[in-house]
Amino acid sequence: MANLLWLQGGACSGNTMSFLNAEEPSACDLVTDFGINVLWHPSLGVELGDNLQKILRDCVSGAITLDIFVFEGTVVNAPDGTGEWNRFAGRPMKQWVRELSDAASFVVAIGDCATWGGIPATAPNPSDSEGLQFLKREYGGFLGQGFKAKSGLPVINVPGCPAHPDWITQIVVAVATGRAGDIGLDEFQRPKTFFQSFTQTGCTRNMHFAYKVSATEFGQRKGCLYYDLGCRGPMTHSPCNRILWNRQSSKTRAGMPCLGCTEPEFPFFDLAPGTVFKTQTVMGFPKDMPEGVDKKGYIAMTAAAKNAAPAWAEQDIFVV
Partner 1 sequence: MEDQASSSKDDLLRNQLGEMLKNGLKTEWEERAYTSQKVNSTVARLQAVASDDYKSKLVLGGFTLEPYGEDDDISQSCATCMYYLKHRRYCELPELDCPVEPEWSCILWRI
For CA atoms 241, 22, 34, 43, the dihedral sign is positive
Amino acid (one-letter) located at 283 = M
Do 170 and 195 touch, CB atoms closer than 8 A? no
Parallel, antiparallel or unpaired: strands 2-8 and 285-286: unpaired
The window from 34-42, 118-126, 170-178, 310-318 that contacts partner 1 (CB under 8 A) reads: 310-318
Shortest Å distance, C-beta 290 to partner 1: 13
Tell which positions 259-278 bind partner 1, by CB under 8 A. 274-275, 278
Parallel, antiparallel or unpaired: strands 75-76 and 68-72: unpaired
Angle among Cα 183, 247, 68 to the nearest 5 degrees reads 35
What burial letters (b/e) apply to 80-98, b meaning 16+ CB within 10 Å?
eeebebbebbeebbbbbbb
Per-residue mark of binding to partner 1, 201-230 (x: CB under 8 A): -----------xxx-xx---------xx--
Residue 151 or 214 with smaller CB distance to partner 1: 214
The window from 6-14, 33-41, 250-258, 303-311 that contacts partner 1 (CB under 8 A) reads: 303-311
Shortest Å distance, C-beta 283 to partner 1: 5
Shortest Å distance, C-beta 107 to partner 1: 39
Using CA atoms, how far apart are residues 254 and 167, in angstroms rounded to an integer?
A: 21
Do 172 and 68 touch, CB atoms closer than 8 A? yes
Shortest Å distance, C-beta 221 to partner 1: 13
Total interface residues for partner 1 by CB under 8 A: 35
Residue 63 or 299 with smaller CB distance to partner 1: 299
Tell which positions 51-90 bind partner 1, by CB under 8 A. none
Binding site for partner 1 (CB under 8 A): 212-214, 216-217, 227-228, 274-275, 278, 280-287, 295-296, 298-300, 302-303, 306-307, 309, 311-312, 314-317, 319
